[in-house]
Amino acid sequence: MTNNKKNNRFDGTVLVAGATGRTGQWIVRRLQEHGIDWRLFVRSAKKAADLFGLEYADRFATGSIENTVDIESAVSGCSAVISAIGAYVTDPESPPPSVIDRDGMRAFAKIARDNEVKTFIQVSSLAVTKPEHPMNRYQDVLSMKLLGENAIRSVYHEKGFCYTILRPGGLQDGEPFRHFLQFGTGDTLMGVIDRSDVAEAAVVSLWHPKARNMTFELIRSLPQPQSTIEPFFKQLP
Ligand SMILES: NC(=O)c1ccc[n+]([C@@H]2O[C@H](COP(=O)([O-])OP(=O)(O)OC[C@H]3O[C@@H](n4cnc5c(N)ncnc54)[C@H](OP(=O)(O)O)[C@@H]3O)[C@@H](O)[C@H]2O)c1
Which segments of the chain have a pLDDT < 50?
A: 1
**Residue ID of nearest Cα to ligand 1 atom 28:** 87
Is 189 within the bounds of a domain? yes
Task: Count structural domains, the chain.
Answer: 1
Of 202, 215, 100, 235, the closest CA to residue 156 belongs to 215
Q: Which domain holds residue 122?
A: 13-235
Is 142 within the bounds of a domain? yes
Number of the ligand 1 atom closest to the C-alpha atom of 64: 32
**Residue ID of nearest Cα to ligand 1 atom 15:** 22
What DSSP letter does each residue of 63-78 carry, written as one string?
--TT-HHHHHHHHTT-
**Residue ID of nearest Cα to ligand 1 atom 26:** 85
Is 2 within the bounds of a domain? no
CATH label of the domain that carries residue 164: 3.40.50.720
> Looking at residue 205, what is its pLDDT?
98
Is 4 within the bounds of a domain? no
Of 50, 60, 58, 68, the closest CA to residue 16 belongs to 60
- 103 CB contacts (<8 Å, ≥6 apart)? 66
Is 166 within the bounds of a domain? yes
pTM to 2 decimals?
0.97
- Best of 27, 123, 198 to mutate for ligand 1, by most ligand atoms within 8 A of CB? 123
Alpha-carbon distance of 102 to 120, in angstroms, equals: 15
Is 98 within the bounds of a domain? yes
Distance 50 CA to ligand 1 centre (A): 18
Is 109 within the bounds of a domain? yes
**Residue ID of nearest Cα to ligand 1 atom 20:** 21
Is 183 within the bounds of a domain? yes
Write out pLDDT tens, residues 175-200: 999 999 999 999 999 999 999 999 99
